[in-house]
Amino acid sequence: MKPIRMLDLIALLRGRRRPLTAAEIAERLGASRRTVYRDIAGLQAMGVPIDGAAGVGYILRPGFDLPPLNFTAEEVEAIVVALALLPRTGDRGLVAAAEGVAAKIAASVPRQASATLAASGWHGLPEAGTDPALLRRAIRDERRIAFHYRNAEGEESDRSALPLALVYYIDSTVLAAFCELRQDFRHFRLDRMSDCHFPGGGFRGRGRALRADWSARTGAPAPA
């Protein structure tokens, strides 16, 4: 049982008022029903209070919380530096989220790390024509997007695509996606995108496989 999938499964069940079937869980996690049955059995064996059965559905009893994570001093320092570097992406949504994480770390660990480590937030990225938060939401929810695009030669086109990943380079931020016009993987600079919206449709359950294919064909880091 993969730790990340285990956490995703618990997060999916937490706060649900009705049971989720194995088929629903499998679709949302991009796994097979057999894997879901195995993971739930493993979590139940570890004492996680999941009630239900195959064919009926599963629900997490109220009041369950994961044990707090314990970080070493160097792990805390790594997080602090990473958070301090986030402004360089130019992604205001991530920067705001980073400030919340930093506040939680400062409240729960010694002040030394946050007081002795800092990073310049300067960046030379061009202004994004599309809000990165919208793209991150589309990637998480596996929703199809449409947008207007201008390439390096100034040629303009309307595109629809399945968004897979955001890649933050030194001089630009790029969306990796499966382009429906070209029927292939393409990389779109955010500063050349505009009028991005959700036209309807999605690719629920296909994101992980598409990212694996994109990674294999482009040499990008493999998805978790």
The model's confidence at residue 3, banded by pLDDT at 50, 70 and 90, is low
Whether the pLDDT of residue 35 is over 60: the answer is yes
Give the mean pLDDT of 114-142: 80
The residues with which 157 forms a beta bridge, in sequence order, are 149
Give the mean pLDDT of 104-120: 64
Give the mean pLDDT of 17-27: 88
If one compares 113 and 42, the residue with the highest pLDDT of the two is: 42
H/E stretch holding 90 reads none
The residues with which 58 forms a beta bridge, in sequence order, are 20, 52
Q: How many C-beta atoms lie closer than 10 Å to residue 195's C-beta? A: 11
CA 172-177-179 angle, to 5 degrees, is 120
The residues with which 186 forms a beta bridge, in sequence order, are 177
Using CB atoms within 10 Å of the CB of residue 109, give its burial: 0 to 12 exposed, 13 to 18 middle, 19+ buried. Answer: middle
Structure tokens that stand for 187 in this block: 């990389």
Q: How far is CA 168 from CA 39, 138, 140, 224, in A?
A: 33, 17, 17, 17
Query: How many angstroms separate the CA atoms of 33 and 83, rounded?
Result: 37
Q: In this predicted structure, which of 72-76, 161-165, 167-171 has the lowest mean pLDDT?
A: 72-76
pLDDT of 1 reads: 53
Span 173-190, pLDDT tens digits: 899 999 999 999 999 999
pLDDT of 111 reads: 53
DSSP state of 73: H
Chain center to CA of 133 = 11
Is the distance from CB of 88 to CB of 55 less than 8 angstroms?
no
Is the distance from CB of 174 to CB of 187 less than 8 angstroms?
yes
Q: In this predicted structure, which of 63-67, 77-81, 149-153, 156-160 has the lowest mean pLDDT?
A: 63-67
Provide φ and ψ at 189, rounded to 5°.
Answer: -75, 135
Span 46-95, pLDDT tens digits: 888 999 887 889 998 877 766 666 777 778 778 888 888 888 888 888 88
Query: How many angstroms separate the CA atoms of 165 and 138, rounded?
Result: 10
Structure tokens that stand for 22 in this block: 């194995």
Structure tokens that stand for 134 in this block: 């919208």
The residues with which 143 forms a beta bridge, in sequence order, are 202
Query: How many angstroms separate the CA atoms of 224 and 59, rounded?
Result: 26
Q: In this predicted structure, which of 21-25, 123-127, 197-201, 208-212 has the lowest mean pLDDT?
A: 123-127
pLDDT of 116 reads: 66
If one compares 1 and 10, the residue with the highest pLDDT of the two is: 10
